[in-house]
A = this chain, B = another copy of it.
């Protein structure tokens, strides 16, 4: 921790707060967290300095001096306080590596601290870094990020990592090997939620769009790493897929062709996807999807109705209210 003063912590949830280390498959731990919280809401951690609450910025300026260390200090404080608010409410968080890396090594220290803080709070941590490389280089990324069941097994304490498939199936395999060994997970980019996603992903080849070919590979890899917990509904592998919420029909198709693949669905909230749009991510048993919202929760204090209700100083209450509202929407 960069900070001397301990943060105010929420009361411990009466249920299971720390995921037992004896759960050695990613899906076992993920599903236990989903069952504990009763929701598939995933809170993204996307700190943006120009939208941070003034009290976080002011505190950081008292602790750090250079522009980058002030920002890194503020990012860590902001994200750790969000974690404290959402840990009893949701199963998982997804820190976005880019915003931390922009600040250089200081930002990397903050990211590592944020990830460890989330693990200690009992959350599943999905590091959104979209890595990808070949052979032993891919394995270096995998070993570095995929801590899996033991938060100390890697330098970055992630339960799961987002990865990019463009370099080919053989470049996913080192990630899958390390993930399977360590009880970690992967989320392969299949169909992203940006306007230009179709440039490559929608190109039709052998009668099928490229993203469907990727989906087939991901299902194969996940089938080879199935969870054997014996708990009903845990029959997923550790290789997931990122599928945007902006294309509900595609989401339904992809759920069908990847029955053993956990999905991570971005694009909810700020990017335009609705609760009805994301229903298709779930299997009939209600499992298999995580629905991400980042900005709409992180910066709830900047938008109505939360802005009027809480004001800038009570931004954590705004985060809690926005998270509860999202959870309620997903249950509609």
A168 interfacial by beta-carbon distance below 8 Å:
yes
Of the listed stretches A32-40, A191-199, A222-230, chain B binds A191-199
Interface bits A94-113 vs B (CB < 8 Å: 1, else 0): 00101101111111110110
A226 CB to nearest B CB, Å: 23
Of the listed stretches A137-145, A284-292, A306-314, A315-323, chain B binds A137-145
| Chain B neighbourhood of A101, CB < 8 A | 140-141, 144-145, 155-156
A204 x B205 contact (CB < 8 A): yes
Given contacts A210-B203, A210-B205, contact A197 B167 (CB under 8 A): yes
Return the contact of A217 from the options B169, B189, B199, B205 (Cβ within 8 A). Answer: B199
Q: Looking at A98, A103, A193, A198, which has the most chain B CB atoms within 10 Å of its CB?
A: A98
A84 interfacial by beta-carbon distance below 8 Å:
no
A130 interfacial by beta-carbon distance below 8 Å:
yes
Closest to A209 in B: B205
A24 interfacial by beta-carbon distance below 8 Å:
no
Given contacts A96-B137, A199-B169, contact A102 B144 (CB under 8 A): yes
A145 to B102, CA, bound (A): 7
| Chain B neighbourhood of A130, CB < 8 A | 131-133, 164, 167
| Chain B neighbourhood of A167, CB < 8 A | 130, 164, 189, 192, 194, 196-197
B103 x A155 contact (CB < 8 A): yes
